[in-house]
Amino acid sequence: MTDIRFRGAVSGPRRTAEKLPRSVDALIARLRPEEPVHCLRPAVMENAARSFLAAFPGETLYAVKCNPEPAVLRALWRGGVRRFDCASIGEVRLVRSMFADAAIHFMHPVKPRGAIREAWQRHGVRDFVLDSAEELAKLLEETGEGRGLVVRLALPKGGAMYDLSGKFGAQPANAVALLRTARPHAAMLGVSFHVGSQCLEPAAYARAIALAASVIREAGVAVDLLDVGGGFPVAYPDIVPAPLADFCGAIADAVKANRLQGLALWAEPGRALVAAGTSVVLQVQHRRGLELFVNDGVYGALSDAGAPGFRFPVRLLRDSSATELPFAFFGPTCDSADRMAGPFLLPADVAEGDWIEVGQLGAYGASLRTAFNGFDKAGIVEVADAPLLMTPGYEMTKAA
């Protein structure tokens, strides 16, 4: 049995005293909720953390922005995660308030001075990412001896579902100059990159590592760390990525081929650790042909189902023998852009009042929620069900 918390997108949780079942079907049958319910699977996330730590040939930093829910962070901690990639002082405060012994790394390349000072002075943060001479100057002024400096390298536009090449990263020549300038001031000097979110090509990491190696060689200074970032993919209804072992193998082979074995190796997974660990239960409010009006949408947990066009596994929370049809969703707001094309395969007899479970929403489903149009309330509950979809390399084990 467990309890449920209801909260807005920008407010703290309200916890009910009622104890509830830990299966999604029994929970919804008891609650009959008219607001979305986020169903967290701590065992799934704990297992994903163990799987990734066992497969990756280096240190693992969880990307907190992907899902900062405290129950998620606790599950990852139980799974062995001890390092956290934070991108704001708010994330730094959250992690430090929960885990006194956590290693926190401030991985946003552009940070306010006050955030740098607080992270350094109050929270024991020692590692900082930069991609410009201006950011390096800030870090040298606001921190002291023992600092770690990591130069983020820009990559060419790639084939990841979310390309991240446009906003951050120093071009190779600038990265060379930054490494040379930073070396005398760094207790630890590193190079990082990001191949893009939901990257389906293991070779993308190998190409990025080769580029990083060429920058390190040209800089001609001692470098201590290579951070391969995030981007490790998960399964969706139309996507079955290569197994996790293929990505980790490509990274290990590229490190060896480029003679970087002497460097510490980091990764910053987010989606790979938490996507399968949360589903969201929606209620159908209206049906119009093959379009369903539901009580959550692109301004809530389903942002990735909007313009990015992600498909998600779905199931109707009642028995039905009807043929499945491809449905689109409209969210609850008055914005016509609050539409999710899917297609979402559901029985043909789905109707107003039905509940639908949508899986693979542990990554960004909670963290991108807004209070737009007043539709900001959602329940949060922990369940014990298996996820709707598994990714190769993260199969559940007895240890979880």
pLDDT in tens, 39-91: 999 999 999 999 999 999 999 999 999 999 999 999 999 999 999 999 999 99
- Going by C-alpha positions, the residue among 102, 103, 99, 73 that lies closest to residue 273 is 73
DSSP, res 303: G
Which pLDDT does position 307 carry in this prediction? 84
Mean pLDDT of 257-264: 96
Same domain, 213 and 342: no
Beta strands 4-7; 14-15: pairing state:
antiparallel
Same domain, 241 and 312: no
DSSP, res 23: S
Residue 358 lies in a domain: yes
- How many domains is the chain built from? 2
Q: Is the confidence at residue 371, as pLDDT, over 90?
A: no
Give the lowest-confidence range in 94-103, 145-154, 192-201, 366-375: 366-375
| 3 state SS of 157 | coil
Mean pLDDT of 367-388: 89
Q: Of 268, 287, 305, which residue sits at a domain end?
A: 268
Same domain, 201 and 296: no
Model confidence at 12, in pLDDT bands (50, 70, 90)? low
Count the Cβ atoms, other than its own, within 10 Å of residue 319: 6
Which pLDDT does position 18 carry in this prediction? 58
DSSP, res 185: G
Alpha helix stretches (DSSP H) within 183-243:
202-219
Residue 70 backbone dihedrals phi, psi, to 5 degrees: -55, -40
Same domain, 198 and 133: yes
pLDDT tens profile 306-327 = 888 889 999 999 999 999 999 9
CATH number at residue 86: 3.20.20.10
Model confidence at 1, in pLDDT bands (50, 70, 90)? very low
Residue 124 lies in a domain: yes
Same domain, 263 and 282: no
Q: Of 222, 247, 268, which residue sits at a domain end?
A: 268
Cα separation, 324 vs 316, in Å, equals 10
Same domain, 241 and 115: yes
Which pLDDT does position 398 carry in this prediction? 47
pLDDT tens profile 161-188 = 767 677 899 999 999 999 999 999 999 9
Which pLDDT does position 17 carry in this prediction? 47
- Going by C-alpha positions, the residue among 34, 127, 29, 120 that lies closest to residue 83 is 127
Model confidence at 20, in pLDDT bands (50, 70, 90)? low
Model confidence at 399, in pLDDT bands (50, 70, 90)? very low
Q: Of 219, 249, 268, which residue sits at a domain end?
A: 268
The count of C-alpha atoms lying within 13 angstroms of the C-alpha of 17, restricted to the half-sphere facing its C-beta, is: 0
Residue 398 lies in a domain: no
The count of C-alpha atoms lying within 13 angstroms of the C-alpha of 333, restricted to the half-sphere facing its C-beta, is: 23
pLDDT tens profile 112-137 = 999 999 999 999 999 999 999 999 99
Same domain, 264 and 287: no
Which pLDDT does position 99 carry in this prediction? 97
Same domain, 284 and 263: no
What percent of the chain is predicted at pLDDT more than 70?
93
Residue 128 lies in a domain: yes
Mean pLDDT of 284-306: 94
304 DSSP β-pair partners? none
Same domain, 326 and 375: yes
Same domain, 30 and 167: no
Residue 51 lies in a domain: no
Q: Is the confidence at residue 156, as pLDDT, over 60?
A: yes
Same domain, 152 and 245: yes
Residue 24 lies in a domain: yes
- Going by C-alpha positions, the residue among 39, 36, 38 that lies closest to residue 332 is 36
Q: Are 183 and 222 in contact (CB under 8 A)?
A: yes
Give the lowest-confidence range in 66-70, 195-199, 272-276: 195-199
Which pLDDT does position 8 carry in this prediction? 67
Residue 50 lies in a domain: no
- Going by C-alpha positions, the residue among 3, 19, 35 that lies closest to residue 281 is 35
Residue 391 lies in a domain: no
CATH number at residue 315: 2.40.37.10
pLDDT tens profile 221-247 = 999 999 999 999 999 998 999 999 999
Please name the residues in contact with 189: beta carbons below 8 A apart, sequence gap of 6 or more.
148, 149, 150, 151, 179, 182, 183, 221, 222, 223, 224, 225
Domain extent for 350:
4-41+275-382
Model confidence at 13, in pLDDT bands (50, 70, 90)? very low
Which pLDDT does position 46 carry in this prediction? 96
Average pLDDT in the chain: 92
Same domain, 283 and 151: no
- Of 157 and 197, which is predicted with more confidence? 197
Question: Which pair of structure tokens corresponds to residue 364?
Answer: 């960004």
